[in-house]
Structure 1
């Protein structure tokens, strides 16, 4: 058995463990250390290492997965109001004989492509295009698949002038009441409202080394820790990894990656993602539309925790990073 086959077997073992909610990361770390002979390849990675893997320039993109997973796909363009946004792609594809409407943030593979795709940071017309296609999916009773990979929505002046906040807010409202199954997959970065703009669904999947957070580690370090150099520390405090979010109930399943990240074996990752999408859809298809909406609403309302207590502020987790004025 060669190294690639061995790593695939380990990934399959991790997938079974994740599905059964069994934490075997420490044991897998020992195995991978013995295989590779290098401690830095251990599968128990810290938060910052996962951030760097999620941002790796060779990491497979949304269009890569769609082309690999689907028998055919047709990309659709434009929001019918302003224009088209290359940073947020969408269209119709067939996966395992099942038609889907797909939506996804698209990053580039090189500098030229990244400039064209705006590094996966969508403008308002991107989110309006996504909503147009989602409404079309509902009309034709097609399930929706979203592939999320963005540091956030584009924060520039043009985006503000064209109503980026309104576009994302409208998507949150409308996606929450569509009566077709919605499967959301975080394939790289899931950043802030930019991710949520196509991230409302019935089942949320994360690739193992993807991240999902309300703010980037750099932004958290600058704003909350008051030191932009403490981004690695901020990444750990944000609890933004797939395993953290699974333990909080924010996501539903994790797809393990080969050692070294998804880019180490893109074909294998596309196959595993395809299998997971079809498995989840088969489960969601057993629900009537009204049941689907009820469960989606319950899911959204149960996210997060609110607590009031009399603990002094000095005991707050962030208090040790702030100095009294």
Structure 2
């Protein structure tokens, strides 16, 4: 897969293009090993420096990077015996939210999350991760099953928002999101939500109102996209960068506000730079959080979750 460079990564892209050019020349016109090694070190240093000082708009771009790990990558890398469950038992199946039963390090649980797709065909199939009502009703069905059999729930959040189409609204999009959010908030089993890319509006909250909310280092989580906020505030979507800088949508801001509990570090250059390492890191943190929550009774889980949500905004 060809590397997709973001606008602010152009200096890195230029260095890596020179490395590739010298590598090709090295096989036909002598050795350039010393020069190549020097450029690699320079590119790595530049990448570290760049990613150590990302502003909120840059993080927004990273969160949307098409090569970040998606739900199917986490399922493949972290779970065994995954059995997908489809349909909401009312209308149909929505492929923007996938879920089912699986084992995480030997332990059975329910896993679900948004799937955006990785190429044109799969993006269309999964509707770019924007779920219709059937997706949220499927999520409720999965959570009901988790409650019935005492299984933990792990959710992976990565969506620009719920699908705003006419058909979705006609079939009760708002009600479906509200029911899914309510079910998250009433679960008596351990539940952990991980914001892996974009956490957009109610479409994200519907499966993210968990007992513990984790967030990858360069992800974003907000009530509206920067473009949407700019359109409302200034009638100018081109001012999305200004909106992102003001909205407090990054992981450190959200931890400070009490909305997110823990930040999961990403590899240098973002999760897309080393997808396998990013998936493993998420798995290690999930294992720690599950271990801590497994000691709690159903009543203690509900009480702790209620307290964390009631505390949001108090410090402000």
Q: Tell me the CA shift for residue 304 of structure 1.
A: 2.6
Number of residue-to-residue matches in the alignment: 276
Of residues 81, 105, 115, the one that matches 1:106 is: 115
Output one character per residue of 1:215-264: Cα deviation in whole Å (capped at 9) or x when no partner.
00000001013321110110011110011111111111111111211011
Q: 2:186 aligns with which of 165, 177, 190?
A: 177
Residue 172 to residue 34, structure 1, CA distance change in 2 (3 Å):
same
Tell me by how many angstroms 1:42 deviates.
Answer: 3.5
**Secondary structure of 1:212 counterpart:** strand
Q: Specify whether residues 69 and 39 from structure 1 end up closer, same or farther in structure 2 by C-alpha distance, changes over 3 A only.
A: closer
Find the counterpart in structure 1 of residue 104 from structure 2: 95
The whole-number CA distance in structure 2 between the counterparts of 1:302 and 1:156 is 34
Superposition pairs for residues 1-325 of structure 1, below 5 Å? 35-37=44-46, 41-305=50-314
- How far apart, CA to CA, are the structure 2 residues paired with 1:159 and 1:199? 20
Q: Which runs of no fewer than 5 residues in structure 2 stay unpaired?
A: 1-40
Structure 1's unaligned 5+ residue stretches are 1-31, 308-325
Bigger radius of gyration, 1 or 2?
2
Q: Structure 1: how far apart are the matches of 2:180 and 2:160?
A: 18
TM-score, normalisation: structure 2: 0.84
Q: Secondary structure at the match of 1:122?
A: coil
Displaced runs of 4 or more, over 4 A: 32-35
Note if contact 1:41-1:259 (Cα within 8 Å) is conserved in structure 2: no
In structure 2, how many angstroms separate the alpha carbons of the residues matched to 1:42 and 1:171?
35
Q: How far apart, in 1, do the equivalents of 2:213 and 2:104 lie?
A: 18
In structure 2, what is the Cα distance between the partners aligned to 1:94 and 1:288?
21
Superposition RMSD on alpha carbons, in Å?
1.7
For the structure 1 residues 42 and 177, does the alpha-carbon distance in structure 2 shift closer, same or farther, using more than 3 Å as the test? closer
State the Cα deviation string for residues 28-62 of structure 1 (Å, max 9, x = none). xxxx9895246862412100111001101111101
